[in-house]
Amino acid sequence: MNNTAPELPSICNRPVAECKDCTINEELFCTLSWKDSLKFGIGFVVLITGMIWGIIHAYNELKISKFAEIAIILGYFIFLFGFLQLWENRILCSHCPYYGREEESVLHCYANFGLRKLYKYHPEPMSKSEQIQFLIGVGVIMGYPIVFLAVFKEYLFLTITIAGDLLWLIILLTQTCPRCPNFSCPLNRVPKKTITAYLRKNDRMREAWLKAGWKMEE
């Protein structure tokens, strides 16, 4: 009995064997790479660490109660999980070609690896409403720790958290977003010519984008 997992198609729904000669396979995150995931997450880890240490220090300095310490940290992670798995999963992830690999019940992308696919695939671009909702969610994730650390005057940990926010944004905008295949994300920085080249390879997504008003470059 062969227990080898079947090879999944590429994110443009073509055989992986065709990727070798693809002209844009170095311009997009076409396959999962843990190196890319590490880059994506490093700034986020810094901001979370700054928040947790800061709240614990506030408790140790008798600035807040044990209940407040637990509620603030737990509340953050409840929102984070709810946003990623329930909210972002629909408004952002369901538009990504990684989501379109319907052989998988969970995502295998560099950013949200392991999240369950709770919704149907939406090959069309994100709507303006979805883009705004996404930015609000990210704003809460980045701003939530800053508010509490500022209120409790934990300035060292506030600085660490802000540094994590800035590091995360810099990495996103310079290393991640210029190669991310979720093209309609408001943070996406993939050049239009690369988007067009990709859409020529993904028939289902191209049809949905053209219907939404996308103009293909020649």
pLDDT digits (tens, 9 = 90+) for 145-178: 999 999 999 999 999 999 999 999 999 999 999 9
Annotate 14-56 with DSSP letters as a single string.
S-GGGGGG-TTTTTS--S--HHHHHHHHHHHHHHHHHHHHHHH
Q: Which residues share a beta bridge with 202?
A: none
Is 25 among the domain residues?
A: no
Is 60 among the domain residues?
A: yes
Is 53 among the domain residues?
A: yes
Is 2 among the domain residues?
A: no
Helix (H, G, I), strand (E, B) or coil at 106: strand
Which of 19-23, 24-28, 179-183 is predicted least confidently?
19-23
Distance CA 44, CA 181 (A): 21
Question: What pLDDT shows up at residue 18?
Answer: 73
- Confidence band for 2, pLDDT divided at 50, 70 and 90: very low
Distance CA 57, CA 47 (A): 15
Angle between helices 128-151 and 155-171 (to 10 degrees): 160
CA 168 to centroid of chain Cα atoms: 11
* Domain of residue 152, residue span: 34-211
Is 3 among the domain residues?
A: no
List pLDDT tens digits, range 172-194. Answer: 999 999 999 999 999 999 999 99
pTM for this one?
Answer: 0.90
Is 52 among the domain residues?
A: yes
Q: Which two tokens stand for residue 13?
A: 């729904």
Asked if residues 29 and 116 have their Cβ atoms less than 8 Å apart, the reply is no
Is 5 among the domain residues?
A: no
Residue 32 confidence (pLDDT) above 50: yes
Q: Which two tokens stand for residue 1?
A: 């009995």
Count of domains observed in the chain? 1
Is 124 among the domain residues?
A: yes
Annotate 143-187 with DSSP letters as a single string.
HHHHHHHHHTT-HHHHHHHHHHHHHHHHHIIIIIGGG-S-TTSTT
